[in-house]
Structure 1
Amino acid sequence: MRTLAAGMVGLALAVGTGACGDGSGQGAVGTDTTATGSVTSTPATPSGATSSATGTPTSQASGQLAAMPVYWVAESRKSFALYREFRTVPDAGGAVASAVAAMTRMKPLDPDYTTPWRPATTVKVTQRGTALSVDLSKDAFANTNLGSELASRALQQLVYTATAAAQKAGKPASTVTITVDGAAYDAWGVIRVGEPMRRAPMIEVQAHVWVTSPQEGATRPAGSIRFTGYGTSFEANFTWQVRTPSGEVRARGNAMGGTGTGGFGEFTFSTSLTPGTYVVEVSTDDPSGGTEGPGPATDTKTFVVR
């Protein structure tokens, strides 16, 4: 995966020019940045509607929910892809409202990830059966550097986050209707929202590889370190290496995961490490050797061994 922080604006503008109007947090080091402004979650009052479901994650501390799934966006394989982190987030009145609010207000742990959203002052969630409704304040759409491709991915970012949070809360959802201040809206001026949306196929919007453990900045005891990840790759083969920040490779190998024919799945591998700071990099297999297509997908995580 290439770093998006420096190139996102330029690429977003380029896209816009071409198309006008888609576990657990583990010892992460660093502080989540929350923007100014309150987040409001309004419990549903109509019969059958809920703002949180039975089994809502237990608060890790007063006013917080632990291990909530939040999706981010990064540049990958000459496009934009979704990546997930599990985060401890402020309790905004339910699992879905809390995860969506965090998606707009917090920063990813991984500096390669970002969010096109801006802090939403208000997030209201209702659920009837498997249908979610998420109403946002207009300030969530204040970012003007989005073309149609990135806007589409950002909407899927919300759909994936909301449905993952609903699943975690024990009340699965299959559709998400996004409104703005209670009405349909032209999101970023390029995509009309207000109708039910479903998750787009994973192969189209999710990153083809990401490291799920350790998360960015995590700490592990010296000895055998177990790594886990998720993705899809040619012939189910992923390549990995662990290196120092200066680039010295300490271990490398291959891991198997997914179906090899487009299906996603988990992979694991382990290696022994002495105390220090390391970067793990995992890539999908590229049978063309970079001569055809967008090339391999790659994800990295920096972590500490003590």
Structure 2
Amino acid sequence: MLKAAGLTMAGLLVLGAGAAGWAYWHLNGNIKSVDINNALGDDRPAKPVTSPSAGASASASPLPTGSLNILVLGSDSRSGKENKALGGGDSSGARSDTAMVVHIDAGRRKATVVSIPRDTLVTRPSCPLKSGGSTAVAYGSMFNSAYSVGGAVCAVKTVESITDVRMDHYVEIDFSGFARLVDALGGVTVTLDQDIDDDDSHLHIKAGTRRLDGTQALALARTRHGIGDGSDLGRIGLQQKLVKALLEQISSTDLFTDPARLYTVAEAVTSSLTTDTGLDSLSELVDLGRSLKGLSAADVRTVMMPVVPAPSDHNRVVAKEPAASELWKSLR
């Protein structure tokens, strides 16, 4: 499922407006976090240098304008009745079915969203565990196994290992949160190039411009059968289409004149959100959102990490070199 990078970024703009008193306390308390910096220590790629925005008044808090890299995961969470009803499976475990590295350029006027196929074979590094100790290095392991064995910390470490790009932040949203966010926005409009008839995702829809509710949008994000070669690569194309559509929907929805809807959107986002400790409060999310205010859907480029079929298993892929390394280098 989709942990839509674009919608998460744009949605952050919503979180602070009108949130006062008990509402602020409630929304702030919804956010879950993981202390990734403490868990990983200093054995990581270099951290980009940020700078305050030019022309900020002495009394105003200067907004950062430096480049930023954020790992956004869509988790196939299996906990809770709502997630299970939406396709999360049994009552235990979770998978990172969607992974996107969101790179925001210096100046924060343009962004690149890079999707990493979950079936990519990688060398998964040794990751620290909450219980103590660490996982073993795993060669030729599926990318999404990192989250399964070591949660957010291992997912971040694996991405940094294969990209040599420092992840400044981590954002995760689950099945139910994504569906409720779309519903809170009044749905999302997408244009499909072909009919979709996928029993696995429970989506049966004709080609053309369609208005989707939350359950349908989630199904679209999970659909792969009947699209392209039926692999995760075809699904990524649909997810990226959905990211752009959600950004456009958020931009066109005047939430600030509708306090009830504003609160519903904020509740949907925060109640299903897990972040690193640098984004685990409304004030931090709002500051990030304010720094991205000039970023529109037209300024967001969506790409996929270049891959080729894995020699050992044509149902899996590996990074295509040197194209993949060149892409990651451009984001440093």
Hey, which of these two has a bigger chunk of helix by percent?
Answer: 2
Please give the TM-score of this superposition, normalised by the length of structure 1.
Answer: 0.32
Hey, which of these two has a bigger chunk of strand by percent?
Answer: 1
Please give the TM-score of this superposition, normalised by the length of structure 2.
Answer: 0.31
Higher RCO (Cα < 8 Å, 6 or more apart):
2
